[in-house]
Structures are given as structure tokens and as C-alpha cells.
């Protein structure tokens, strides 16, 4: 079952992961970073991939992120948290925890681990076409970010 060209997590009844379906598709990013990102479901609906092409502080960042629950070799079921691994053109690898609210209207992305002092928190507009929020970093230096769906 898919409901658009970006797919949907159809094979498991995981409400938290399904809440991330709102991200599927292309977005224009403005604020502290500018450019485009596109989210798409991988076959099977267990993982969401993000393709990134942004400029931040005058530096171009091209990368990809894979988002989903970790299920290590030999495990019978996946872990509790929705984890992500980000890779960029500078050789950086960053880990995040995606934490959608129960209603799916708010998304928190924790840098490293849940509860980290570095995190993003954003809220979807009622029509789901805008995600507005900000990154918070320990000691300052965070920035606001707005993603607008490209139609």
C-alpha cells in the first residue's frame, strides 16, 4: 500500500514511524540553512531516506540520512527509538533520534541521543505543508529553520 510517489510505511503498525510520513516528498529549507531536502520511504516501509543539498554558513552540505528503528543482526525485534545516521560530503557522520509527538504535529530531533542538549524542535502547520522550528545548541549558536513543501 502506498499513497503517493514517495511511499508510506505500509508493512508495520508503528504509529511513531508512520507519523514521519508527513515528511515524505521534496521540501525547500530557509532560515539558518537554505536549500532543498527530499524524504522518501525505502521499500518495505521500515526506513525513511533523506537527500540533503543545503548551504549553511557559506558552506554547501550535500548528504543523505537513513531514519528508522535499529534491528541489529540476530535481533528478533527493532529497538524503541527511531534513530538516524547522517553522512555528508565533508566525511561527517552524525547520529540523531527522531521523536514525533503523539499527535504527529511536533517533531523533536535529538543530536546523538534522546535528551541531548542539542536538538531541533518544529511544528507542522495545520495543512502539513510547513515545518517551522529551531535548532538549539548548548552554549548558543542555534538557528531557526522553516521547511516548505514543494508542490
Q: Is the pLDDT of residue 15 over 80?
A: no
Q: What is the pLDDT of residue 14?
A: 76
Which tens digit of pLDDT belongs to each residue from 48-77? 999 999 999 999 999 999 999 999 999 998
Q: Is the pLDDT of residue 7 over 70?
A: no
Dihedral sign, Cα of residue 36, residue 124, residue 118, residue 134: positive
Length of the chain: 151
Domain spans of the chain, in order of start: 12-149
151/135 Cα distance (integer angstroms)? 25
Closest CA relative to residue 25, chosen from 56, 49, 44, 1 = 49
Tell me if the pTM is above 0.75: yes
CATH number of 12-149: 3.10.129.10, 2.40.128.20, 2.160.10.10, 1.20.200.10? 2.40.128.20
Amino acid at each position: 500500500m502506498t499513497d503517493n510517489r514517495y511511499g508510506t510505511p505500509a508493512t508495520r503498525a508503528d504509529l511513531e514511524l508512520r507519523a514521519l510520513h508527513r515528511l515524505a516528498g521534496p521540501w525547500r529549507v530557509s532560515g539558518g540553512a537554505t536549500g532543498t531536502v527530499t524524504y522518501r520511504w525505502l521499500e518495505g516501509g521500515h526506513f525513511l531516506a533523506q537527500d540533503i543539498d543545503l548551504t549553511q554558513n557559506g558552506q554547501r552540505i550535500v548528504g543523505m540520512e537513513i531514519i528508522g528503528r535499529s534491528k541489529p543482526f540476530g535481533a528478533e525485534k527493532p529497538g524503541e527509538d527511531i534513530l538516524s545516521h547522517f553522512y555528508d560530503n565533508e566525511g561527517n557522520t552524525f547520529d540523531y533520534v527522531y521523536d514525533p509527538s503523539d499527535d504527529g504535529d511536533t517533531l523533536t530531533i535529538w543530536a546523538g541521543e534522546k535528551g541531548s542538549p542539542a536538538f531541533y524542535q518544529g511544528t507542522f502547520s495545520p495543512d502539513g505543508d510547513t515545518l517551522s522550528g529551531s535548532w538549539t545548541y548548548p552554549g548558543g549558536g542555534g538557528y531557526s529553520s522553516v521547511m516548505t513543501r514543494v508542490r
